[in-house]
Amino acid sequence: MSKNFDVIVIGGGPGGYIAAIRAAQLGFATACIDEWKNDKGGPAPGGTCTNVGCIPSKALLQSSEHYEHAAKHFAEHGIGLKSLSIDVAKMVARKDQVVKQNNDGILYLFKKNKVSFFHGRGSFVKAVDGGWEIAVGEDVLTAKQVVVATGSSARALPGLPFDEDKILSNDGALRIGAVPKKLGVIGAGVIGLEMGSVWRRLGAEVQVLEALPAFLGAADEQIAKEAQKAFAKQGLKVELGVKIGEIKTGAKGVSVAYADAKGAEKTLDVDKLIVSIGRVPNTTGLNAEAVGLKLDERGAIVVDDECRTNLPGVWAVGDVVRGPMLAHKAEEEGVAVAERIAGQHGHVDFGLIPWVLYTSPEIAWVGKTEQQLKAEGRAYKAGTFPFLANGRARALGDTTGMVKFLADATTDEILGVHIVGPMASELIAEACVAMAFKASSEDIARICHAHPSLAESVKEAALAVDKRTLNF
Ligand code: FAD
Ligand code: NAI
């Protein structure tokens, strides 16, 4: 059957489904095609984020944090437990339920916004009449505007495909059936630290092997050091500067040969191994070559600053293009593209995309790091405030970490905010708003923050820029 639309979106992850909803809101006849299948073979829109990424990882992080609190911190509050157990199957089933609620939520949003949903793989057929023909199963859809939002998949080590039993991608790491005694992780990036934290909290002995000599190189150095100390204290072992050698799987588990930072040959024997060494853009199946859609050497779709590809009327957003692989970045690009199609001035400020690691302590930042400002030769002032001096953090029993402000030495404009500590993921939003409005650290310092709240640490760090903290 042939169907005509104004806009076709290929991919129903956060980039795609949000682009489709915004396009429909703007009055376009919109279709969204997504191929993700749930356990029963039915549609499961939401992409990596909903099915095997942001949402399920946060569900397991929450469950494992509850367990760790019960095991290690309830006693401080005078709460005694006669016995404590973990039902991993139930924990994973709850996570699956959270995922399903999100899948269903997106299908509801499609109905509400009159987006036509097609379950299957979308691929380019040919250019037609100033637009594009896209095949999905038996259907052939046409539209003048096509948004490609096909996302990314886990990168495997050469010669070591994921079997999701012993060699796990993010997908298998979210479906381990019982707590492994020993868990290895290759790559101390975002997934390695988050998934390593989940299974460590539940009792696994976790060893992370990282190729780079620096821990969390993209974060502010002072913040990364503080986080590294906290992780070490919890027993999450991270070895930096390693070179991975041969990896063998056998009946008993996985054996990883590697050279440590000094070049000494070592072996790590584990029950399961998570490989989290980055992700690759998804373009197979799009039939990109047939229509001449340009890809770069990494396989990402080449786009300009406004997400236009080399083909007229074809846009691409999210993990399949350049830039950080983050759900909120994909969403922002999706909205901006829909608005550009409508002739509006959609805008994404790439300098103000926040990063969050949902470990404990959480790590969050927006804007420039101190090392970036130094490299740029920009004169800046820094102010920090430790959660140790915050009343709410003491009441919570979680005083690890700090808030750090970086502001221009002359104008006082906030250039970066970095947080390691409780609820950093929520606290960073204030910094994003302030920086979007080009606020100075003095602006934040003059705003009344509720007491007692963790957010007072943000205000105090802003005061620290002018060396006048009140509580430290
Ligand atoms: P995706 O979410 O990958 O969606 C693409 C969709 O397109 C998929 O459903 C795919 O099946 C479909 N598709 C592909 N090709 C076709 C085709 N030809 N036809 C039809 N459908 C197709 N980011 C955050 O911001 N915060 C987090 O906390 C976070 N946690 C994460 C945790 C993990 C374990 C992982 C792996 C990632 C996490 N991310 C997080 C990253 C986030 O998931 C991605 O940045 C985000 O999903 C990218 O959105 P997208 O729409 O570009 O692609
Ligand atoms: P990553 O890029 O965050 O980290 C990969 C790490 O693996 C790097 O530190 C890299 O140096 C290391 N590495 C690469 N090759 C290696 C090798 N051969 N041996 C040892 N170490 C090696 O990638 P990750 O963790 O796979 O996550 C992918 C992306 O998913 C993230 O970059 C992020 O964009 C997104 N994500 C976001 C989350 C969040 O926002 N909270 C959570 C999880 C993922």
CATH number of 167-277: 3.50.50.60
Set 69, 119, 418, 451: catalytic member: 451
Same fold, 2-153+280-350 and 167-277: yes
Query: What pLDDT score was predicted for residue 130?
Result: 86
Q: Which CATH superfamily is domain 2-153+280-350 in?
A: FAD/NAD(P)-binding domain (3.50.50.60)
Q: Report domain extents, the chain.
A: 2-153+280-350, 167-277, 361-465
> Would you give the distance in Å from CA 224 to the centre of its chain?
17
Per-residue confidence (pLDDT) for residue 160, from 0 to 100: 97
CA-nearest residue, atom 26 of ligand 1: 54
**Right CATH number for 361-465 from 1.10.3190.10, 3.30.390.30, 3.40.50.1370, 3.40.50.720?**
3.30.390.30
Q: What is the mean pLDDT of residues 346-372?
A: 97
136-155 confidence digits (pLDDT tens): 999 999 999 999 999 999 99
Over residues 115-120, the mean pLDDT reads 98
Indicate if the pLDDT at residue 184 is higher than 80: yes
Pocket test for ligand 1, best of 49, 60, 146 (most atoms within 8 A of CB): 49
pLDDT of 54 > 90? The answer is yes
Give the per-residue pLDDT at 249.
97
* 328 is known to lie in a ligand binding site: yes
Percent above pLDDT 70 for the chain: 100
Among this protein's residues, is 451 annotated catalytic?
yes
Question: pLDDT tens digits, residue range 394-428?
Answer: 999 999 999 999 999 999 999 999 999 999 999 99
Average pLDDT over residues 149-163: 97
- pLDDT tens across 125-134, in order? 999 988 999 9
Q: Check residue 1 and give its pLDDT.
A: 58
- Considering only CA atoms, which of 358, 325, 49 is closest in space to residue 196? 358
The ligand placed nearest to the CA atom of residue 321 is: 1
Residue nearest to atom 3 of ligand 2 (CA): 189
Which numbered atom of ligand 2 lies nearest the CA of 157? 18
Instruction: Tell me, using a 6 A CB cutoff, whether residue 319 lines ligand 2.
Output: no
User: How large is the average pLDDT for residues 97-124?
Assistant: 98
Per-residue pLDDT at 161 exceeds 80: yes
Residue % of the chain over a pLDDT of 90? 99
Query: Which ligand is closest to the CA of 160, given by its number?
Result: 2
pLDDT digits (tens, 9 = 90+) for 193-243: 999 999 999 999 999 999 999 999 999 999 999 999 999 999 999 999 999
pLDDT at 285 > cutoff 80? yes
Ligand 2 site-directed mutation target among 273, 277, 363, 426, most atoms within 8 Å of CB: 277
Mean pLDDT for the chain overall: 97
Statement: residue 278 has pLDDT above 70: yes
Specify the pLDDT at position 238. Answer: 97
Q: Is 197 in the pocket of ligand 2 (CB under 6 A)?
A: no
Convert the chain into a string of H (helix), E (strand) and C (coil): CEEEEEEEEECCCHHHHHHHHHHHHCCCCEEEEECCECCCCCECCCHHHHHHCHHHHHHHHHHHHHHHHHHHHHHHHCCCCCCCCCCHHHHHHHHHHHHHHHHHHHHHHHHHCCCEEEECCEEEEEEECCEEEEEECCEEEEEEEEEECCCEEECCECCECCCCCCEECHHHHCCCCCCCCEEEEECCCHHHHHHHHHHHHCCCEEEEECCCCCCCCCCCHHHHHHHHHHHHHHCCEEECCCEEEEEEECCCCEEEEEECCCCCEEEEEECEEEECCCEEECCCCCCHHHHCCCECCCCCECCCCCCECCCCCEEECHHHCCCCCCHHHHHHHHHHHHHHHCCCCCCCCHHHCCEEECCCCEEEEEECCHHHHHHHCCCEEEEEEEHHHCHHHHHHCCCCCEEEEEEECCCCEEEEEEEEECCHHHHHHHHHHHHHCCCEHHHHHCCCCCCCCCCHHHHHHHHHHCCCCCCC
pLDDT at position 2: 64
**Ligand closest in space to the Cα of 307:** 1
